[in-house]
Structure 1
């Protein structure tokens, strides 16, 4: 299984709450750049798991313009900045197994994503994710390996 972890695009701060922050024009642009670049690596996602926060939902809307409709996509309440990385790791793997997904995209937030990488790949320090940044974790025979991490500035 290939697990693509993506941080939402750049968001503004003019909102009533953190949940309601929206993508900036630059956030949409960078998410589109990363989506185009991802399209060179993968042609479709079997499963997409997205944070309920508006900026993550908007990021997913940008990504989905570049890919066929996934077999299944779910908004997961646990994919919030303060989410429990151990619980989220178990949920992501359980959903991937349930839907027999080979290519999974998770759209979420920092610091959760950094801690999730450490949870899934023991011995790896929590990496920072740039906005719209993506990390690939390859899972084979129950063992996870960090393959790469890219941000919009590293692909252009």
Structure 2
């Protein structure tokens, strides 16, 4: 299984609750860039599991639109928001598809990358960074930055 882990794009700190934070213009540009990269690579997830937080929703909706990925592949998973890395790991392990995309938040995303590849030492996964992991080889293939 190929695992794609996407941290939400750059968001505002404009007084909304953490859950309601929206993307900045830069965040929308980052999301579009990642979507265009996925399209150019012909990398299409079979399933997308995403945090329902507004910034994660905006991120994946823009990514999906730019990558020509059907929105019906997106599942909003409440417990991805503020999830402990062990829970994210279990969610990933339960998948049976060829390619999964999980959209979430730090520090969970970078911790899960390190769990999936014990030799990885990810520290500081930026907004809208996309990690690609080969699950069978337990190997981080690359990190794509917008």
Task: Provide structure 1 residue ranges, at least 5 long, that are not aligned to the other structure.
Answer: none
Offset at residue 87 of structure 1 (A): 1.6
TM-score of the superposed pair, with normalisation by structure 2: 0.90
CA contact 2:132–2:140 (8 Å) conserved in 1:
yes
Distance in 1, Cα, partners of 2:45 & 2:15: 31
| 2:71 equivalent to 1:75 | no
Higher helix share: 2
Q: Residue in 1 aligned with 2:30?
A: 30
CA contact 1:44–1:70 (8 Å) conserved in 2:
no
Show structure 1 runs of 4+ deviating over 4 A: none
Offset at residue 70 of structure 1 (A): 6.2
Q: Residue in 2 aligned with 1:112?
A: 108
CA contact 1:6–1:106 (8 Å) conserved in 2:
yes
Q: Residue in 1 aligned with 2:140?
A: 146
Distance in 1, Cα, partners of 2:50 & 2:69: 16
Distance in 2, Cα, partners of 1:110 & 1:54: 15
Q: Secondary structure at the match of 1:55?
A: helix
| 2:118 equivalent to 1:122 | yes
TM-score of the superposed pair, with normalisation by structure 1: 0.85
